[in-house]
């Protein structure tokens, strides 16, 4: 199906219900077998990863923000092509489909910039506030349109491009009160980090999954703002690595966008659609 071909009418799909993994009790360990493996996986193996994630996060909070970006760029070049082989192949194919007139070297440069951005996002969680408030690091363009958001309910569609966490921090710093619908990371340590960063930015987190519908409606009815991070589909590497789907654009009155540059500089804008 061509990207420009209108899609068929959407079929019915069951709403996603978020169910956090329950902590296995000690009785599972004593029971042996699969129950013991589940206990060890939750309390031992997973917690090793959680400890690493938290140590990584708090260590880089002591590192200058720009150095976090530079290290993340290097980490992306080293880690992403090895850990995400399938998504990288899709990303390269998607860039080729988007820019059929570009030479292979130009496509390779786009892929390199993409993996560098992925690496920066991993490390910049430790420096979101510092990057958003760094003098000369962020350029606001068209934010006068955001004044329209103060008088009534509004839905922001935050595209999953570059470091969207900086967008959340900047919108909060501009005096907007936002509630956010999000997809929790699977690892508990990373979920804690995501909640920590966003709540410190002044973002009210809605319950994940379909449980967010009623709270989101109450926020909008009260004249507040809701923010939804949008990508083609759920899952890791959910940006250029996804196959293209013929999806009609969703109308929205204000569209904030963001782009983070390699040297820790960001450029954002908000424009009327």
Calculate what percentage of the chain has a pLDDT beyond 70. Answer: 73
Mode of pairing for the β-strands spanning 178-181 and 225-230: parallel
User: Given pLDDT bands bounded at 50, 70 and 90, which one contains residue 210?
Assistant: confident
Instruction: Label residue 202 left, alpha or beta by phi (over 0 means left) and psi (-120 to 50 means alpha).
Output: left
Q: Does domain 138-272 have CATH number 3.40.1010?
A: yes
pLDDT at 58: 96
| Domain map (residue ranges) of the chain | 138-272
Report residue 27 as tokens: 């009785």
Report residue 208 as tokens: 């994940």
User: pLDDT tens digits for 42-58?
Assistant: 999 999 999 999 999 99
Instruction: Label residue 265 left, alpha or beta by phi (over 0 means left) and psi (-120 to 50 means alpha).
Output: beta
The β-bridge partners of 99 are: none
pLDDT over 70 (residue 247):
no
Report residue 170 as tokens: 């900047």
pLDDT at 16: 76
CA angle 179, 116, 163 (to 5 degrees): 10
pTM, two decimals, is: 0.75
């Amino acid at each position: 199906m061509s990207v420009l071909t209108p899609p068929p009418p959407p079929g019915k799909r069951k709403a996603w219900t978020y169910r956090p993994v329950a902590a296995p009790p000690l009785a599972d360990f004593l029971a042996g077998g699969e129950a013991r493996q589940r206990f060890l996986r939750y309390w031992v193996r997973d917690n090793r990863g959680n400890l690493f994630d938290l140590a990584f996060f708090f260590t880089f909070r002591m590192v200058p923000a720009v150095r976090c970006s530079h290290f993340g760029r290097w980490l992306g070049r080293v880690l992403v092509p090895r850990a995400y082989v399938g998504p990288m192949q899709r990303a390269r194919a998607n860039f080729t489909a988007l820019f059929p007139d570009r030479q292979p070297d130009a496509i390779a440069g786009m892929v390199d910039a993409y993996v560098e951005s992925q690496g920066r996002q991993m490390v910049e969680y430790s420096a979101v506030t510092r990057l958003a408030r760094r003098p000369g690091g962020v350029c606001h363009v068209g934010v006068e349109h955001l004044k329209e958001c103060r008088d009534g309910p509004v839905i922001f569609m935050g595209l999953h491009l570059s470091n969207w966490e900086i967008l959340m921090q900047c919108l909060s710093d501009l005096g907007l009160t936002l509630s956010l619908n999000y997809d929790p990371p699977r690892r508990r340590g990373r979920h804690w980090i995501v909640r920590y960063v966003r709540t410190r930015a002044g973002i009210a987190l809605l319950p994940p999954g379909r449980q967010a519908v009623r709270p989101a409606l109450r926020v909008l009815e009260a004249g507040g703002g809701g923010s939804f991070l949008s990508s083609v589909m759920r899952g890791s590497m959910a940006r250029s690595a996804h196959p293209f789907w013929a999806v009609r654009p969703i109308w929205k009155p204000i569209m904030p966008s963001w782009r983070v540059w390699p040297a820790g500089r960001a450029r954002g804008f908000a424009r009327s659609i």
